[in-house]
Amino acid sequence: MIKDLIYDNFCIPAILEKWPDAKITDASDYIHEGRFELEIDIEEDEFYPFAIREGFALSCFVFNMWTMDNNKENKEKVWRWLKELDKIVDYAQQQKEE
């Protein structure tokens, strides 16, 4: 289960298109406007690579905490997801060159 705070609402349509059952709740307050809470019954290995590809991973609170965390397991997750993105970009560039 993914439960995260996301600090930008531009990604809501992409999330709902991919996961129509996602629960999105306004979590704005007097300091954070445009913040929402996201709950989706999927694994983090499915959501965060999607967030990276779609360009909103840095708007995800949990993802940002993992990038700053000294926990080896969390850092390895983030690096694995970023390496997956590199493979996708490399493949797209190869296809463009052919």
Half-sphere exposure of 97 (CA within 13 A, CB side): 6
Report residue 19 CA to chain centroid gap: 13
Percentage, residues of the chain above pLDDT 90: 45
Range of the domain at 92: 2-97
Q: Please say whether the beta carbons of 36 and 5 come within 8 A.
A: yes
pLDDT band at 90 (very low <50, low <70, confident <90, very high): low
Digit-coded pLDDT (tens) for 57-88: 989 999 888 888 778 888 888 888 888 877 76
Q: Which two tokens stand for residue 29?
A: 């307050």
Considering its fold, how many domains does the chain have in total?
A: 1
Note the pTM of the prediction, 2 decimals: 0.80
Strands 2-6 and 23-26 turn out to be unpaired
Helix (H) or strand (E) run with residue 3 in it: strand 2-6
